[in-house]
């Protein structure tokens, strides 16, 4: 029955089905947000929450460039494709990289890079002239995601950014709850203390399962 329904939907012009599909997805997303909020905003935040936070932070800090580690299916790129002048997304898995390249092949402002984010960030940073927003989510999470010599390359990613941070880039790190000292994640209190020593011109806080590293020139309360 599901296959039959898909076949029927595929016969309908996209101009008719797309708004309906978008409406259904939005309703599902809002239901997930309400459930997450009712549970005290514990655990992983719904993807729509992360999308809104990235958009808001980028607007506030006037970030023209987005650098993402962990492309996965490309859903964050899809959500942000019209919000930035340039998007770089780094994916270790060749399979996922190939799919993302195909998905965004018609977008000149999107570059999908295959490789280890800890190394690739270091390569692309010198070419980024403007202040960038870094969305760091490049960890191994099972399934068809890829793993290099580490499950979580966050320390290597940050080292690369720190070495080329004359623009005071904005950094958002996903999955704060996983920073417990296992699976190559640093322990959160030690991690934040080390970051504070290295980035004394930044404010640091955690909200919505995201670690915010924000240049001090803004006094905004994020997220709303």
Give the largest CA-CA distance in the chain: 59
CATH number of 43-215: 3.40.50.150
- Please calculate the CA angle 64-81-141 and round it to the nearest 5 degrees: 105
> Which of 56-60, 121-125, 136-140, 182-186 shows the lowest mean pLDDT across its residues?
136-140
The three-state secondary structure class of 22 is helix
pLDDT of residue 218: 47
Residue spans per domain, the chain: 1-40, 43-215
Q: What percentage of the chain reaches a pLDDT higher than 70?
A: 79
| Each residue's pLDDT tens digit, 200-211 | 889 999 999 999
Residue 95 to residue 109: CA distance in whole angstroms: 21
Average pLDDT over residues 142-159: 73
Helix or strand or coil: residue 53? helix
Sheet containing 202-207: which strands, arranged edge to edge? 110-114, 86-91, 65-69, 132-136, 170-174, 210-215, 202-207
Q: Which of the two residues, 130 and 9, has the higher pLDDT score?
A: 130
**17 pLDDT above the threshold of 60:** no
- On whether the CB atoms of residues 174 and 137 are closer than 8 A, the answer is yes
Predicted local confidence at residue 144, as pLDDT: 57
In the chain, count of helices (H) and strands (E)?
8, 7
| pLDDT tens digits for range 29-51 | 778 888 887 888 888 889 999 99
Q: Percent of the chain beyond pLDDT 90? A: 60
pLDDT at site 18: 47
Q: Are 93 and 69 in contact (CB under 8 A)?
A: no
pLDDT at 221: 42
Give the pLDDT confidence of 164-178 residue by residue, as tens digits: 877 789 999 999 999
């Amino acid at each position: 029955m599901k296959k039959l329904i898909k076949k029927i939907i595929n016969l309908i012009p996209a101009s008719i089905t797309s708004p309906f599909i978008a409406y259904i997805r939005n309703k599902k997303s809002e239901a997930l947000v309400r459930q997450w909020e009712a549970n005290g905003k514990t655990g992983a935040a719904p993807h729509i929450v992360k999308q809104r936070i990235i958009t808001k932070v980028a607007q506030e800090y006037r970030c023209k460039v987005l650098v993402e580690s962990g492309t996965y299916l490309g859903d964050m790129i899809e959500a942000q494709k019209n919000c930035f002048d340039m998007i770089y997304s780094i994916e270790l898995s060749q399979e996922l990289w190939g799919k993302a390249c195909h998905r965004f092949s018609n977008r000149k402002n999107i570059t999908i890079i295959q490789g280890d984010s800890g190394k690739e960030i270091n390569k692309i940073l010198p070419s980024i002239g403007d202040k960038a927003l870094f969305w760091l989510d490049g960890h191994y999470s099972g399934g068809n995601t890829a793993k290099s010599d580490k499950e979580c390359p966050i320390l290597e990613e940050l080292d690369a950014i720190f070495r080329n941070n004359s623009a005071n880039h904005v950094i958002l790190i996903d999955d704060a709850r996983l920073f417990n000292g296992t699976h190559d994640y640093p322990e959160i209190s030690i991690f934040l203390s080390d970051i504070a020593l290295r980035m004394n011109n930044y404010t640091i806080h955690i909200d919505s399962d995201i670690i915010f590293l924000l240049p001090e020139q803004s006094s905004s309360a994020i997220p709303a």
